[in-house]
Amino acid sequence: MEDWRKDQEVLVMEGRIKVPYRWFAGEVGTRYLESLRDKGVFLGTRCPGCEKVYHIPRRHCPECFEECSQWVELGSSGTLESYTIVRRQHPQLSPLPVPYGYGIIRLEGADTGFLHLLGEFDDKELKVGDSVEAVFSDKREGNILDVKFFRPVKGVE
């Protein structure tokens, strides 16, 4: 069989590049991450117009464009609003051993959910509406992985 590629011009080369970068968290993001790192406390911001509490905190309300200048301490547990479970381990990309999950969690006191990892769950019993709690990292460094994952709150139906 003739190799059709030998007469082809090389237009595409496959490869992989690693691009390190630094991202400025901003004033709101910095205060949020410092609170998680130093106190283990989730913060949100409240809109003075519609009273909505945002977590992750926002500087401006995307619905009424008011400045969200009031900070609110939130609970470290909340409600699982949606999720998916990962069952296949990837040697470089899996953040936790399988099975683990990605979930949208609305913390106590917040009106919006955020995406984080799920661990220590029974995947036959996990469901939308479950109460979940944050499991903090032993060594916190000022990023969102200062929370290792969320797990179901035991004894809550």
Applying CB under 5 A, does 49 fall inside the site for Zn ion?
yes
Phi, psi of 54 (to 5 degrees): -95, 130
CB of 61 to Zn ion, least distance (A): 3
Among positions 47, 105, 110, 117, the unique one binding Zn ion when judged by CB under 5 A: 47
Q: By rule CB under 5 A, what string of x and - marks binding of each residue 91-130 to Zn ion?
A: ----------------------------------------
Among positions 61, 110, 117, 134, the unique one binding Zn ion when judged by CB under 5 A: 61
Among positions 26, 64, 89, 115, the unique one binding Zn ion when judged by CB under 5 A: 64
Reference 104, options 128, 137, 88, 126; nearest CA is 128
Measured between alpha carbons, how far is 26 from 146 in angstroms, rounded to an integer? 18
125 vs 90, 94, 104, CA distance in Å? 24, 22, 17
CB nearer Zn ion, residue 49 or residue 95: 49
Contact between 88 and 76 under an 8 Å Cβ cutoff? The reply is no
Site residues, Zn ion (CB under 5 A): 47, 49-50, 61, 63-64
